[in-house]
Amino acid sequence: TLLHLLGGVDRPTDGVVMIHGENIYEYQDRELSKFRRQRVGFVFQSYNLVPKLTVEENIWMPFMLQGKKYVKEKLKEERERVSCLADMMGISDKMKSLPSELSGGQMQRAAILRALINRAKLLLCDEPTGNLDFESGEEVMRILQQVRQEEKCSVVVVTHDQLVADSADRIIQIQSGRIKCK
């Protein structure tokens, strides 16, 4: 629910949701869709990669949804950025592979890169290490911290894993519907 509210997927029954100083629920539906498409990246526990598309095609899909004019203007500069991010994440040699040919950690790194393709300023991660072994989970958290610094974006991670929570700069807990800051 928290990620859906922050990402503009569900509307709150009460209160406001402020993202970068704006109440996103004052937007009309079309503006809210544009907000999600351009400013929010979602990383899911189960990766949600399209099985019949290569890693590269999965990563570029949200970019292509921006429209022909945008793609034409930005494609050259974004190709270099995606190549650098793929190198940083250790998946540049997997770009032509199908998701079924990747490890869980590699799929999660591809999902993170897909979430960043449109230069998201808000990265929402739902249990990003939940399906990974300890080492892969540590690597994904290291990458998320590096991405936050290099891409200058906010990263919100929802987790039940205390080790993942401990790697955060700030911890906010929700218990019985109440928010508690640590």
* pLDDT tops 90 at residue 76: no
pLDDT of residue 59: 95
CA distance 62 to 40: 11
Average pLDDT on 58-77 reads 87
10 Å CB burial of residue 121 (0-12, 13-18, 19+) is middle
**Burial code of 101-114, b = ≥16 C-beta within 10 A, e = fewer?**
ebebbbbbbbbbbb
Whole-model pTM: value is 0.86
Average pLDDT on 58-76 reads 87
pLDDT of residue 131: 86
Structural element, H or E, at residue 85: helix 68-89
Please give the CATH number for the structural domain made up of 29-181.
3.40.50.300
Model confidence pLDDT, tens digit, residues 82-136: 999 999 989 999 999 999 999 999 999 999 999 999 889 999 999 999 888 898 8
Going from N- to C-terminal start, the domains of the chain cover: 29-181
pLDDT of residue 75: 87
* pLDDT tops 80 at residue 182: no
Percent of the chain past pLDDT 70, that is, above it, reads 100
pLDDT of residue 114: 95
Model confidence pLDDT, tens digit, residues 3-38: 999 999 998 888 889 988 989 999 999 999 999 988
